[in-house]
Amino acid sequence: MNIDLKKLTIATAAAHLKAGDFTAVELTQAYLDLVAAKNREVNAYLEVFTDAITQARAADAVIKDGRQGPLTGIPCAIKDNILIQGRLASAASRMLQNYRAAYDATVIAKLKEAGVVFLGRTNMDEFAMGGSTENSAFGLTKNPHDLSRVAGGSSGGSAAAVAMDGALFALGTDTGGSIRQPASFCGVVGLKPTYGAVSRYGAIAMGSSLDQIGPLAKTVADAELVFKAIRGRDAFDSTTIDENTYNEPYAEHRTSKTAGRKPRVIGVPRHFLKDGVDAAVLGSFEAALASFERKGYEIQEIALPNISAALMVYYIIMPAEVSSNMARYDGVKYGLHIDGKDGIDDYFETRGAGFGREVIRRILLGTYVLSSGYYDAYYNRANAVRKMITDEFHKAFESVDVIATPTAPGPAFKIGEKTTDPVAMYLEDIFTVTANITGMPAISLPCGTVVREGAGLPIGLQLTAGHGHEQRLFDIGRDFLNEE
Amino acid sequence: MITVKDIEHLATLSRVKLTDEDKESLAMEFDAILGYIDRLKKLEVKIDAEGRVGAVKNAMRPDEAAPRSPAERERLLAAAPDREGDYIAVKKIIAQD
């Protein structure tokens, strides 16, 4: 059977594998061929694993025995900051260029158990810091829809790998939008789960109160399958929650008007969409709301009075956590070591040579906001505002099921367009950081395209739900995309 | 206004070696970034937050060494840039005059 990678989803591929229409080896070879043809240009993958076919053979044996699950033999791509034992995990940094993982991340152990095929590791902004994958120490990733534009970031390689049909799904990490914004730029589905829903054990840490691992896939159903395979409480990550941590009757906090009915009220913070949003993005957003109304949803305007402060809060808390997390790269335990004249000089030399510009900028910024004398004005204040914003979201979810915004203020921008202006790059995260600040789950869904210079550029719609309510995002997302 | 001297101080605290060129541009970028996040100071806030996200709570475990296999220990040691036997080697930190 001829394998049409463009049309394939995890669900259909699993059905074909089960029916014997093709084997996992044939499927994997089809992906390897496509990646060999396209990756030189796109640079989604930093490395393609030479043992992918061996992994596929093992999956075929499981399928032959009829012991397969929904992910057996499914080829996937893994962001380069998630550890797979024995393989390089560089976080796209010179600091970890030759670092081999000593153990499996929990999500990787779960995916191995599920029988997936790891095709390779994907490019990213160094240590997941950036919104364009231009901060990779190993070359940027180009957008498969227009090679003159960025793929978004920091999980740009994962989004581009799925978008170019170079994997059926990919894992990314999301600290301020790093799954959802590249998903939006590349026209795929991207989920940032509830904080704690997925174990962070074995994910190279950036901002520990914000980081989450999540899936990028072609359909909502596929993203849901992957999420359900990787979530769960984990003894190695004490912040993990289980399915019932936030369990509450669907409509417990809802008004009597909508209680007990299927999710149908979509909240829109219109006051937040006034400035700095591309006209095409606003147009696609309004069209999405109209489509929801036609499907019987109610659109309700909501107020989130302090939401515009979320990005400022983020750019205080995130660098503070970055500066702490990056302290471990000392040239002693693992990673790069550059010899200095004495022990402390080893640190200066190693860290100066190993870290790229954006990483250093954030380490210094974090050190600044945590300095004695500034701590109250920045870090404490940011934490207080974080709580205020979270409370505002809780209040909004008393009357709506999900909150809709665009995922990013614009479509994919040109390579180099924002590299000299850090604040402009940071503003890319304006709609996505709130889900990390509040710990709530959010999904980016493909929401039409805009033609720029002859290329059709995807636009994303973001839905946010209350803690633990990923299922609402999946149900409404499937409905929106008219998935079976 | 952030000066090159401020950047040098932060770089010392952060144990990062910078070039003169980097110091200059970082000082300028800091002014832009701080100009943005300083707007937070205008917001009226009561600072008593616990800094907690969702239902996440401290999870304790007994203070006991977890058994690790020799193979796992070897993998971790093998990652060190310099080692002597089962120790990670570093430079002397106490100088003799």
Task: Identify the pLDDT of residue A175.
Answer: 98
Judge: B56–A239 Cβ closer than 8 Å, yes or no: yes
Residues of A catalogued as catalytic? 79, 154, 178
Task: Give yes or no for a contact between A88 and A99, defined as CB atoms under 8 angstroms apart.
Answer: yes
pLDDT band at B93 (very low <50, low <70, confident <90, very high): confident
Domains of chain A in start order, with CATH, are: 10-230 (3.90.1300.10)
Q: Give me the interface pTM, i.e. the ipTM.
A: 0.92
Measure B68 CA to nearest chain A CA, in Å.
12
Tell whether the model's pLDDT for residue A250 goes beyond 60.
Answer: no
Task: Identify the pLDDT of residue B66.
Answer: 82
What is the DSSP pairing of strand A142-143 with strand A75-79? unpaired
pLDDT band at B56 (very low <50, low <70, confident <90, very high): low
Task: Identify the pLDDT of residue A256.
Answer: 42
Q: Closest residue of B to A322, CA-based?
A: B14
Say whether A250 sits in a helix, a strand or coil. Answer: coil
| Residue A142, phi then psi, degrees to nearest 5 | -95, 155
Tell whether the model's pLDDT for residue A244 goes beyond 90.
Answer: no
Q: Is the peptide bond before A199 cis (omega within 30 degrees of 0)?
A: no
Over residues A274-322, the pLDDT tens digits come to 888 999 999 999 999 999 999 999 999 999 999 999 999 999 999 999 9
Mean pLDDT over all residues of chain A?
94
Instruction: Please report, for chain B, the start and end positions of each structural domain, with discontinuous segments joined by +.
Output: 4-42
Tell whether the model's pLDDT for residue A391 goes beyond 60.
Answer: yes
Tell me how many residue pairs between chain A and chain B have CB atoms under 8 A apart.
158
Please give the average per-residue pLDDT across A105-113, as a whole number: 98
Over residues B59-92, the pLDDT tens digits come to 788 899 888 889 989 999 999 999 999 999 999 8
Least confident of A443-452, B19-28, B55-64: B55-64
Q: For domain B4-42, give the fold.
A: Histone, subunit A (1.10.20)
What is the DSSP pairing of strand A265-268 with strand A298-301? parallel
Distances (CA, A) of A302 to A338, A403, A404, B43: 54, 9, 10, 21
Tell whether the model's pLDDT for residue A259 goes beyond 90.
Answer: no
**In the beta sheet, which residues pair with residue A460?**
A446
Q: Which of A333, A344, A367 sits opposite B10 (nearest CB)?
A: A367
Task: Identify the pLDDT of residue B1.
Answer: 87
**In the beta sheet, which residues pair with residue A237?**
A234
The residue among A451, A480, A482, A460 whose CA lies nearest residue A181 is: A460
Mean pLDDT over all residues of chain B?
87
pLDDT band at B55 (very low <50, low <70, confident <90, very high): low
Task: Identify the pLDDT of residue B50.
Answer: 56
In chain B the first and final C-alpha atoms are separated, in Å, by 42
Please give the average per-residue pLDDT across A433-444, as a whole number: 97
For A30, other C-beta atoms within 10 Å of its C-beta total 18
Task: Identify the pLDDT of residue A8.
Answer: 98
What is the DSSP pairing of strand A75-79 with strand A117-122? parallel
Over residues A8-40, the pLDDT tens digits come to 999 999 999 999 999 999 999 999 999 999 999
Please give the average per-residue pLDDT across A378-405, as a whole number: 93
The residue among A178, A191, A197 whose CA lies nearest residue A224 is: A191
pLDDT band at A252 (very low <50, low <70, confident <90, very high): very low
Task: Identify the pLDDT of residue A261.
Answer: 55
Over residues A401-432, the pLDDT tens digits come to 999 999 999 999 999 999 888 888 888 899 99
Tell whether the model's pLDDT for residue A78 goes beyond 70.
Answer: yes
pLDDT band at A255 (very low <50, low <70, confident <90, very high): very low
- Rounded-to-integer distance, Cα A116 and Cα A110, Å: 10
Buried b (16+ CB within 10 A) or exposed e, B63-77: eeeeeeeeeeeebeb
Task: Identify the pLDDT of residue A251.
Answer: 43
| Residue A19, phi then psi, degrees to nearest 5 | -75, -10
Judge: A423–B59 Cβ closer than 8 Å, yes or no: no
The residue among A45, A182, A229, A178 whose CA lies nearest residue A119 is: A45
Contacts of B43 in chain A (CB under 8 A): 306, 309, 381, 385
Measure B61 CA to nearest chain A CA, in Å.
9
